[in-house]
């Protein structure tokens, strides 16, 4: 099957990044979110990211214009009727994702593939909420999508070989490197990364170090490009908590217990960069640690 048109559900930081790399690779892209404002904000981010690449000489203005012209807003699921692949990248909440598939699938052509960018949720379970489990896969991009080289591919129990093969070709066409993961909670990257971030939050919670000390320690002591708390803010603390809950529930091991301080930040609505406050306060010119 030849993929030409790619739909993206959710225009947040991951959805707009997925739309960006797909359009850059020559696909026609349709972007959907719950409101017109959300779609416009996603399109504005893509515009800004492409403009930065033009300024740094990595993209010509003509390439930028052609990329932007390939992305359109799709305000309703009916608009995805002639798409070949739809990638869902809405919030990390199983109930929200299930509702999306139930509303979306009746409008898709029978051969359309469906992918989820979920960070942690069972692909087999999500597939069961669609009318096409054999055409459903985990296609997990990393943040920031235009920069990170990896895509994890995850097959559910029912995913057929043809779907897997098209997904591999698709990810390669975006110039991404593939890592195949079995369908276990949080797959490979987040099975390893999120417990480290959670441990960094416990380190803060127990007073072993402050926000800056923890981030400096891991940046300079372990050569991580971002400290774990800075990275948590970048990912979104709601997403970090959801992933830890999926690990804790799915593997039933207390070592995955989400740190109570992470829970508290999420309850406060301090979700990191997207709400301007998390382990750092981003409202001023430079980020200030909140603890």
Ligand X SMILES: NC(=O)C1=CN([C@@H]2O[C@H](COP(=O)(O)OP(=O)(O)OC[C@H]3O[C@@H](n4cnc5c(N)ncnc54)[C@H](OP(=O)(O)O)[C@@H]3O)[C@@H](O)[C@H]2O)C=CC1
Ligand Y SMILES: CC(=O)CC(=O)SCCNC(=O)CCNC(=O)[C@H](O)C(C)(C)COP(=O)(O)OP(=O)(O)OC[C@H]1O[C@@H](n2cnc3c(N)ncnc32)[C@H](O)[C@@H]1OP(=O)(O)O
CB atoms within 10 A of CB 231: 21
Residue range at the interface with ligand Y (CB under 6 A); choices 53-61, 128-136, 160-168, 280-288: 53-61
Is residue 159 part of the contact set for ligand Y (CB under 6 A)?
Answer: no
From the list 75-83, 145-153, 214-222, 272-280, the region that binds ligand Y by CB under 6 A is 145-153
Annotated catalytic residue 190? yes
In 3-state terms the chain splits into helix, strand, coil percentages (rounded to 5) of 50, 15, 35
Is 38 one of the binding residues for ligand X (CB under 6 A)? yes
Cα–Cα dist 152/115, whole Å: 12
Judge whether 99 is annotated as a binding position. Answer: no
146 binds, among ligand Y, ligand X, none (CB under 5 to 8 A by kind): ligand Y
The reply, when asked if residue 198 is annotated as ligand binding, is no
How far, in Å, CA of 19 to CA of 39, rounded?
11
Contact 268, 254 (CB under 8 A): no
245 binds ligand Y per the rule CB under 6 A: no
- Chain-centre distance for alpha carbon 140: 7
CA 9 to CA 33: how far, in whole Å?
6
143 versus 276: smaller Cβ distance to ligand X: 143
Query: Hey, which residues does 29 pair with through a beta bridge?
Result: 6, 71
Q: Select the residue interacting with ligand X from 45, 67, 89, 122 (CB under 6 A).
A: 89
Q: Does 105 bind ligand X (CB under 6 A)?
A: no
With binding defined as CB under 6 A, does residue 91 bind ligand X?
yes
**Which 3 state secondary structure label does DSSP give 157?**
coil
Interface with ligand X by CB under 6 A: which range of 22-30, 86-94, 175-183, 246-254? 86-94
- Is 88 among the catalytic positions? no
Q: How far apart are CA 130 and CA 168, in angstroms?
A: 21
Tokens (6 digits) for 49: 């990211």
Q: Does 200 bind ligand Y (CB under 6 A)?
A: no
Pick one of ligand X, ligand Y, none as the site partner of residue 225 (Cβ within 5 to 8 A by kind). ligand Y
Contact present, 88 and 140 (Cβ < 8 Å): no
Dmax over CA atoms of the chain, in Å, equals: 55
Q: Does 143 bind ligand Y (CB under 6 A)?
A: yes
Which helix (DSSP H) or strand (DSSP E) does residue 88 occupy?
A: strand 85-88
114 binds ligand X (CB under 6 A): no
The answer to whether 107 contacts ligand X (rule: CB under 6 A) is no
137: contact with ligand Y by CB under 6 A: no
What sign results for the dihedral spanned by CA atoms 55, 56, 61, 67?
negative
Is residue 175 part of the contact set for ligand Y (CB under 6 A)? Answer: no
> What is the sign, positive or negative, of the torsion defined by CA atoms of 64, 67, 72, 73?
negative
Instruction: Choose which of 7, 12, 133, 228 interacts with ligand X (CB under 6 A).
Output: 12
Q: Looking only at residues 61 through 120 of this chain, which bind ligand Y when binding is defined by CB under 6 A?
A: 119
Residues at the site binding ligand X, with contacts judged by CB under 6 A: 9-15, 33-34, 38, 89-92, 96, 100, 117-119, 141, 143, 235-236, 239, 274
Residues designated as active site? 119, 140, 152, 190
């Amino acid at each position: 099957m030849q993929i030409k048109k790619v739909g993206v559900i959710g225009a947040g930081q991951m959805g707009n990044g997925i739309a960006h790399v797909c359009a850059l690779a020559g696909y026609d892209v349709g972007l959907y979110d719950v409101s017109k404002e959300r779609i416009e904000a996603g399109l504005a981010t893509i515009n800004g990211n492409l403009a930065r690449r033009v300024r740094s000489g990595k993209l010509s203005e003509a390439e930028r214009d052609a990329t932007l012209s390939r992305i359109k807003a799709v305000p309703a699921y009916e608009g995805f009727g002639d798409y070949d692949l739809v990638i869902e990248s809405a919030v990390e909440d199983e109930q929200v994702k299930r509702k999306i598939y139930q509303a979306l699938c009746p409008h898709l052509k029978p051969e359309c593939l469906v992918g989820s960018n979920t960070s942690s949720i069972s692909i087999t379970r999500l597939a069961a909420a669609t009318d096409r489990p054999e055409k459903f896969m985990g296609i997990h991009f990393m943040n920031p999508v235009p920069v990170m080289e990896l895509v994890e591919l995850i097959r559910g129990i029912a995913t057929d070989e043809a779907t897997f093969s098209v997904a591999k070709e698709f990810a390669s066409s975006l110039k991404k490197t593939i890592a195949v993961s079995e369908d276990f909670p949080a797959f490979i990257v987040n099975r390893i990364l999120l417990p480290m971030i959670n441990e960094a939050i416990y380190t803060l919670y127990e007073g072993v170090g402050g926000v800056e000390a923890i981030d400096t320690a891991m940046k300079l002591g372990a050569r991580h490009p971002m400290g774990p708390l800075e990275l948590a803010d970048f990912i979104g603390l709601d997403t970090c908590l959801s992933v830890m809950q999926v690990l804790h529930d799915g593997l039933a091991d207390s070592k995955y217990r989400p740190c109570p301080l992470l829970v508290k930040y999420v309850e406060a609505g301090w979700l990191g960069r997207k709400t301007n406050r998390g382990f750092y306060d981003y409202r001023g010119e430079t980020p200030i640690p909140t603890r």
